[in-house]
A and B are shown apart, each in its own frame.
Chain A
């Protein structure tokens, strides 16, 4: 690896600069959520319709995410869950992932744990199942309406 080991000070400086990326992502997400919190996606005309829904008439796995985030920004977990449960779970996963990313960047630690492959295939299966089921008539608890 490195011929000369970086001194503690330079390593710290590099670590600080590296932290700008996760912090920038967090800031961008914050701006997005703030906008979404103020501009209600439940009102027609504020945002374009999901292209997949507009073309096919079916909900995609992401449909209802804007309204879910809007509800979450107002502290309404029940409404968020009703609009898109996958988005609520996904946001929690994103938060955890971001925290781990930040921690890794701050400490310079490499990831030491790898999820077993079946978990990843399980995630894929869950998304596809959710996509189909939320279009089944009567399964409104999964659909965004």
Chain B
């Protein structure tokens, strides 16, 4: 997968528990938020944020601390945007559904999710 002829640099040494090393902890990958926003908010953007979440881990694993931090920041931003777009889109969609229902004179539709 990531082997292109050269051996990757060794990963940062695992910190001892309670250690105070500067790079003791990998940057957060926001995977939980990325997944939740993907499923419940806006799929296309959410997928991209999951990819950046995964990049946090893969870059950290090869010792690319700066890259992992950049991916972490991007994953966070994209997740926020996924939620924003999803919530706005959801509100618009629900409004449209209600308006459409009122137009057709139906009261309540089949309830899914």
Q: A residues engaging B (CB < 8 A)?
A: 1, 41-55, 59-67, 86, 90, 93-94, 97, 108-112, 114-118, 120-121, 123-124, 127-128, 131, 144
Q: Nearest chain B CB to A127's CB is how many angstroms away?
A: 7
Known: A110-B19, A112-B25, A124-B51; 14 extra A-B contacts, CB below 8 A, are A41-B111, A44-B109, A44-B110, A47-B113, A49-B97, A51-B97, A54-B109, A61-B38, A61-B39, A62-B113, A110-B15, A111-B26, A114-B26, A120-B31
How many B residues face the partner with a CB closer than 8 A? Answer: 41
Q: Compute how far the CA of A65 lies from the CA of B109 in the bound complex, rounded to whole angstroms.
A: 18
**Set of chain A residues within 8 Å of B19, measured between Cβ atoms:** 110
Q: Compute how far the CA of A51 lies from the CA of B14 in the bound complex, rounded to whole angstroms.
A: 45
Q: Give me 23 A-to-B residue pairs in the complex whose CB atoms sit less than 8 angstroms apart, sorted by A's number.
A: A44-B109, A48-B97, A49-B109, A50-B112, A61-B43, A62-B39, A63-B112, A63-B113, A108-B18, A110-B24, A111-B26, A112-B25, A114-B60, A114-B61, A115-B31, A116-B57, A121-B51, A124-B47, A124-B50, A127-B35, A127-B38, A127-B39, A144-B113
A64, A111, A117, most chain B CB atoms within 10 A: A117
Asked whether any CB of chain A lies closer than 8 Å to the CB of B29, the reply is: yes
Interface of chain B: mostly helix, strand, loop or mixed: helix
Given contacts A60-B39, A65-B113, A110-B24, contact A48 B94 (CB under 8 A): yes
Given contacts A47-B113, A63-B112, A110-B24, contact A120 B94 (CB under 8 A): no
- Establish whether residues A121 and B17, one from each chain, have CB atoms under 8 Å apart when the complex forms: no
- Establish whether residues A97 and B32, one from each chain, have CB atoms under 8 Å apart when the complex forms: yes
Across the interface, B97 reaches (CB within 8 A) one of A46, A54, A112, namely: A54
Given contacts A45-B111, A47-B113, A63-B112, contact A120 B54 (CB under 8 A): yes
Interface of chain A: mostly helix, strand, loop or mixed: loop
